[in-house]
Structure 1
Amino acid sequence: MATPNVAIIGGGPSGLTLAKLLQRASIKCSVFEKDVDRHVKNRGGCLDLHADSGQLALKEAGLLEEFKRLARPEGETLRIFSPDGTVLMDESRGEPGRPGEFADRPEIDRAQLRDLILDSLEPGTVHFNSKLLKINTQENSKLTLVFADGREVTDFDLVVGADGAWSKVRPSISDTEPFYSGIAGLDCRISDVDAKHPELSAHVGQGMCLNLGSNKGLMCQRNGDGTVQLYAFARVPVDWFSTSGIDPTLPDARRKVVDALFPEYSDLQKSLVLDSDPDTVGRLLYMLPVGYQWPHNPRITLIGDAAHLMNPFAGVGVNVAMKDSLELAHAIIGEGVGQDSTPLSERLAKFEVDMWARAKKNAEATVMYQNLFFHERGGIAMVEHFAKRREEEQKYKSNEVKSS
């Protein structure tokens, strides 16, 4: 059976991982990325890759050992503070923290992960500055990609949308769009934090630092490049920026957001925002419906945020996306399902059903964690949740010992 010619829209972790896995199986593929080049800096915190998903995909791609050389196990620790600066939980001091399911999730900066996979691909695989407009079907049922600069690239057997929240591929198979999740705020960054703001560096620590109040939080994450990524988020209406008169792109946005949303926080915690770099970004967090599905199309499918956009509060997004890449690669290659006899369309349909189930489970967990991040009782609710999970985990282990 002839191998398909695959177009992958989106050069993030899921799209690049899929390309790498297909190339290892000698399947022709091209990646089309809207960024003008590989050096465009994408904001956002670092990523923790889980052993059963993100790391598993890298292992099959032959990149796990290089990932381990780049990753930061010290970045796994979590601290939680109340708005007055009281320490509610601090894993870095050896205190009880999250249950064992959170173990072995080392952090890596987004740019490092992207470069790791990108550099492993065959030259010419990724076509930058390629913003997709639409997908057309040819008379022979193959697909043509139409780009914003007027280019048309033809003769694809399968198009995979790995192009994120506002996917340009998704409208070809579904009219569902992301909706506002109720969470918004300011995306900040503190560069060269050790030298410029040692007191903030000490507060954040080497991993993640959550300063949680009632339905709000200052959520910080140490990156490997010497910066701290910070999100000053709260439950607010979708039009909050406009009704509050705050322009998030202006330097005074930091002070206005602190005054409006975080007046009860300690001076040190307020400094996380006030002393951050002036190039802030306003963020409204969107999500796709939990359990979202689409009518099967034998030539177009979705993975990652394009398929199941969810908020970052469970820390699973990139891992679910890379697991998508791994499972989709298996479906395209035909491993384990009779490559010579099972039509690609059937393998894709099974992949989608399995992905939908996996995504629904993770989306439900994400909603649960969002409600802990933005709880009326602040960080106390999250600490109590982790204590309950540790207790349940211990009981399960004890029962296993008794039954063995």
Structure 2
Amino acid sequence: MGTLNIAIIGDSRPSRPHIGKAVAAQSSVSCKVFEKDVDRHVKNRGGSLDLHPESGQRALQEAGLFEKFKKLARPEGETLRIYSPDGIVLMDESRGESGRPERFANRPEIDRTQLRNLLLDSLAPETVQWNSRLQDIRNQDDSKLTLVFTNGNEETGFDQVVGADGAWSRVRPSVSETEPSYSGISGLDCRISDVDARFKKLSEHVGRGMCLNLGSDKGLMCQRNSDGAIQLYAFARLPKDWFSTCGIDFTHPNARREVTNMLFPEYTPLQKSIVLNSDPDTIGRQLYMLPVGFQWSHNPRTTLIGDAAHLMPPFAGVGVNVAMKDALELAHAIIGEKAEQEEPSSLSIRLREFELGMWARAKQNAEVTIMYQDLFFHQRGGIAMVEYFAKKRQEDAQENTI
């Protein structure tokens, strides 16, 4: 296929650019990854990720990283607990009780930073160019592309640019004017370190996996990380301007208590303490999403994957898996893998076929995500989610008896 020069614009998310490179490295494709962060150590927070067999795990297998992943993965992190705001256990998979349907099995957890480092360590050192925040993409006279970065650097001679640069992609404007819109969900991103030693009751409440404390249109959503810390998202359905109109000074040390009193007054003292005992570096978050079914006019030299292509809230747990599937399928398209009996096709045609498949997957997953968001933030709290899982278990049992 000759020599193709591919540029991948990333934002240091685990998997977005790196799986594509890991697979493409098996071919003669030249590939560089440009990351906006100064180095790999800048982003060190975030919850854990459950990798699905048909997407995230498959991508790691084809990249030759699955055995290393299994050494880091935590099957015990798969369990889910759901509490009501008065502390009543509505569901607890860790006790062997009925929980989610079997389709949720074999999805072990791994920390974001661990997955990112696993992927970075698999690359040649010169592959990733750090401190490279994209400013512009320019056309050259020879039909190739030049990348201009905010640090003044320019990189020339690219045949293809892949935007894997997240929600506020700088590549997306090359193919579409569409921007993400507010999902209706906001809150605090918190972390509690050294939980086992400092807060034993909190540790027991959360357990070793995921713990959802769901009230009416709100929730304290916890994840255990590999270092024993707890990642917490204290989210609710809130207006877009809530952070500026709620009257809370978020620079003040008492901000977490004010948020807890305002949004979660009916929760038990133990549940409230998940927020109150969190580390000082709490972050205010608003969740955004691209339109369900978002597409763009095909550009033979520019495409998007991951959040840049189909940003969605995290409530179906599919974001990283969809992105890894994107990267895997895109790598196949770039390499030109085809059945022997098929005629070779141009890169533009293969990219178009890739985009059509990605858009279909993204639309389906976005619809599922909206459904789960409505369960996480339901007027009936966690009861609605427990009933949904029970209904799905019953449907699966009926299908298995046919």
Common fold: TM-score over 0.5: yes
Q: Does 1:376 align with 2:379?
A: yes
1:256-301 CA distances to partner (integer Å, 9 max, x unpaired)? 1101100000000000000111111000000000000000000000
Counterpart residue number, 1:8: 8
Segment drifting more, 43-52 vs 367-376: 43-52
SS of the residue 1:226 aligns to: coil
- Pairwise CA distance, 1:340: 7.2
Segment drifting more, 286-295 vs 117-126: 117-126
Counterpart residue number, 1:294: 296
- Pairwise CA distance, 1:24: 2.0
- Pairwise CA distance, 1:134: 1.1
Q: Does the 8 Å CA contact 1:248/1:280 hold for their aligned counterparts?
A: no
What is the distance in 2 between the residues matched to 1:246 and 1:176?
32
Segment drifting more, 2-11 vs 275-284: 2-11
Q: Does the 8 Å CA contact 2:34/2:128 hold for their aligned counterparts?
A: yes
**Of the candidates 145, 149, 172, which is equivalent to residue 147 of structure 1?**
149
Change (3 A) 1:329 1:48: same
Q: Does 1:129 align with 2:128?
A: no
Segment drifting more, 181-190 vs 238-247: 238-247
Q: Does 1:183 align with 2:185?
A: yes
Mapping of residues 199-348 of structure 1, within 5 Å: 199-336=201-338, 341-348=344-351
Task: Give the TM-score normalised by the residue count of structure 1.
Answer: 0.97
Q: Does the 8 Å CA contact 1:248/1:281 hold for their aligned counterparts?
A: no
Counterpart AA for 1:29: C
Q: Does 1:44 align with 2:46?
A: yes
Residue segments in structure 2 that go unaligned for 5+ positions in a row: none
- Pairwise CA distance, 1:123: 2.1
Task: Give the TM-score normalised by the residue count of structure 2.
Answer: 0.98
SS of the residue 2:36 aligns to: coil
Percent identity (aligned): 70
- Pairwise CA distance, 1:253: 1.6
Segment drifting more, 336-345 vs 364-373: 336-345
Q: Does the 8 Å CA contact 1:24/1:61 hold for their aligned counterparts?
A: no
- Pairwise CA distance, 1:26: 3.2
SS of the residue 1:124 aligns to: helix
Q: Does the 8 Å CA contact 1:161/1:301 hold for their aligned counterparts?
A: yes
What is the distance in 1 between the residues matched to 2:255 and 2:233?
13
1:340-369 CA distances to partner (integer Å, 9 max, x unpaired)? 731100000000000000000000000000
Q: Does the 8 Å CA contact 1:250/1:278 hold for their aligned counterparts?
A: no
What is the distance in 1 between the residues matched to 2:161 and 2:150?
17
Counterpart residue number, 2:85: 83
Change (3 A) 1:196 1:330: same
Residue segments in structure 1 that go unaligned for 5+ positions in a row: 400-404
Counterpart AA for 2:276: L
Q: Does the 8 Å CA contact 2:7/2:33 hold for their aligned counterparts?
A: yes
**Of the candidates 392, 397, 403, which is equivalent to residue 395 of structure 2?**
392
**Greater than 6 Å deviation, 4+ residue runs:** none
Counterpart residue number, 1:402: none
1:170-214 CA distances to partner (integer Å, 9 max, x unpaired)? 011100000000000011100111111111110000000000000
- Pairwise CA distance, 1:226: 2.0
Q: Does the 8 Å CA contact 2:5/2:159 hold for their aligned counterparts?
A: yes
Q: Does the 8 Å CA contact 1:193/1:201 hold for their aligned counterparts?
A: yes
Counterpart AA for 2:111: D
Q: Does the 8 Å CA contact 2:338/2:344 hold for their aligned counterparts?
A: no
Counterpart AA for 2:197: A
What is the distance in 1 between the residues matched to 2:255 and 2:184?
20
Mapping of residues 27-42 of structure 1, within 5 Å: 27-42=29-44
Change (3 A) 1:332 1:68: same
SS of the residue 1:328 aligns to: helix
What is the distance in 1 between the residues matched to 2:198 and 2:32?
43
Q: Does the 8 Å CA contact 1:249/1:282 hold for their aligned counterparts?
A: no
What is the distance in 2 between the residues matched to 1:154 and 1:336?
30
Q: Does the 8 Å CA contact 1:74/1:207 hold for their aligned counterparts?
A: yes
CA RMSD of the aligned region, Å?
Answer: 1.1
